[in-house]
């Protein structure tokens, strides 16, 4: 490359048209997934404090919201459920008439072109709020696997296109793959024990009643361990792997992208969304500009698809 003044990189930055012509990464509605939260009742839209625009919705309102998302160009949603009752094992997760199962059947009938992804975990359904069954006060990894597989099967029977286990139990991808040989699995492979989940735990009503999840979610300082987690999940039959959260772990997304040839997902979590929302509400920054910059950073790091609460806004902005 010739040095200045022959080389002037600013020449291609002079106008928006020129910048667009040479832009290296682009946001597309094809690449985003919108999380939705199904709750009991009818006509229920229960906003969540701190998560502007996000709400718990009854099945009829989930259908209404998803129809609008599909019309706006959103191609996929991720479903979470808030059950009427919880128990020690989280049995509401796999009931045929559970909240997610009802939402899936309604969405399959009313919004047939939408790709339906389900979060497979027990934390929203257990009375103690942990992601598996307890034995002597500890989450029992192996006893949880059958229940996760049972949950995944019930989701597919109700209409799910993709299942996404988020529990971080060892071996859960293999258990689900054995039960569902032909269904895509997006594994939450590198899910960190993060401070950025707070708002989500409010909307999903899934905060642990005691202790924390550091015994099964990943330790934030570790990167090589994330690569091992991804490798194991792929060996067990995952079709794609996810890094969660996204923004504090852009280096992990890049490391996963460089190591593996599979699709890589990233979850732009509730705390990341809430921070920008709060700063914008206080007049400290422009939400649209900050959100777009955040999302393109996730793509630039190597994510093929992004789970984000900004999906609906992105449809309008783009």
pLDDT on residue 205 = 56
Q: For the chain, count helices (H), then strands (E).
A: 11, 12
Do 306 and 19 contact (CB within 8 A), yes or no? no
Buried b (16+ CB within 10 A) or exposed e, 263-302: bbbbbbbbbbbbbbbeebeeeeeebeebbbebbbbbbebb
Question: Which of the four pLDDT bands, split at 50, 70 and 90, describes residue 166?
Answer: very high
Question: Which of the four pLDDT bands, split at 50, 70 and 90, describes residue 244?
Answer: very high
Quick one: 210 exposed, middle or buried, by C-beta within 10 A (0-12, 13-18, 19+)?
A: exposed
pLDDT on residue 203 = 59
pLDDT on residue 2 = 80
Q: Is 197 strand, coil or helix?
A: helix
- Rg (C-alpha) for the chain, rounded Å, is 20
Tell me the whole-structure pTM to 2 decimals. Answer: 0.94
pLDDT on residue 50 = 78
Q: Which tens digit of pLDDT belongs to each residue from 82-119?
A: 999 999 899 999 999 999 999 999 999 999 999 999 99
pLDDT of 206 > 90? The answer is: no
* Residues known to be catalytic: 191, 244
Q: Which residues pair with 261 in a beta bridge?
A: none
- Rounded to whole angstroms, the Cα distance separating 215 from 212 reads 8
- Rounded to whole angstroms, the Cα distance separating 255 from 69 reads 32
Instruction: Give residues with Cβ within 8 angstroms of 163, minimum separation 6.
Output: 117, 118, 120, 152, 155, 156, 176, 180, 183, 184, 185, 186
pLDDT on residue 214 = 84
């Amino acid at each position: 490359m010739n040095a200045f003044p022959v080389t002037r990189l600013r020449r291609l930055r002079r106008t928006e048209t020129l910048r667009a012509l040479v832009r290296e990464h682009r946001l597309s509605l094809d690449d985003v997934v919108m999380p939705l939260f199904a709750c009991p009742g009818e006509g229920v839209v229960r906003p969540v404090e701190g998560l502007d625009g996000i709400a718990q919705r009854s099945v009829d309102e989930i259908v209404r919201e998803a129809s609008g998302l599909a019309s706006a160009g959103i191609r996929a949603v991720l479903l979470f459920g808030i059950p009427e009752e919880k128990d020690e094992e989280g049995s509401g997760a796999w009931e045929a008439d559970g909240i997610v199962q009802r939402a899936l059947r309604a969405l399959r009938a009313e919004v047939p072109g939408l790709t339906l992804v389900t979060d497979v975990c027990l934390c929203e359904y257990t009375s103690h709020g942990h992601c598996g069954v307890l034995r002597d006060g500890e989450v029992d990894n192996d006893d949880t696997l059958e229940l996760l597989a049972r949950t995944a099967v019930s989701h597919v029977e109700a209409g799910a296109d993709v299942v996404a286990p988020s529990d971080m139990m060892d071996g859960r991808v293999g258990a689900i793959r054995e039960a569902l040989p032909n269904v895509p699995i997006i594994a939450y492979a590198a899910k960190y024990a993060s401070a950025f989940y707070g708002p989500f735990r409010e909307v999903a009503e899934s905060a642990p009643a005691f202790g924390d999840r550091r015994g099964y979610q990943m330790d934030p300082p570790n990167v090589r361990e994330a690569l091992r987690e991804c490798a194991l999940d792929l060996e067990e039959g995952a079709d794609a792997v996810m890094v969660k959260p996204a923004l504090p772990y852009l280096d992990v997304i890049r490391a996963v992208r460089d190591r593996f040839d599979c699709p890589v997902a990233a979850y732009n979590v509730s705390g990341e969304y809430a921070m920008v929302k709060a700063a914008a509400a206080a007049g400290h920054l422009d939400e649209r500009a900050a959100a777009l910059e955040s999302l393109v950073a996730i793509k630039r790091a190597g994510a093929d698809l992004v789970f984000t609460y900004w999906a609906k806004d992105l449809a309008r902005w783009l």
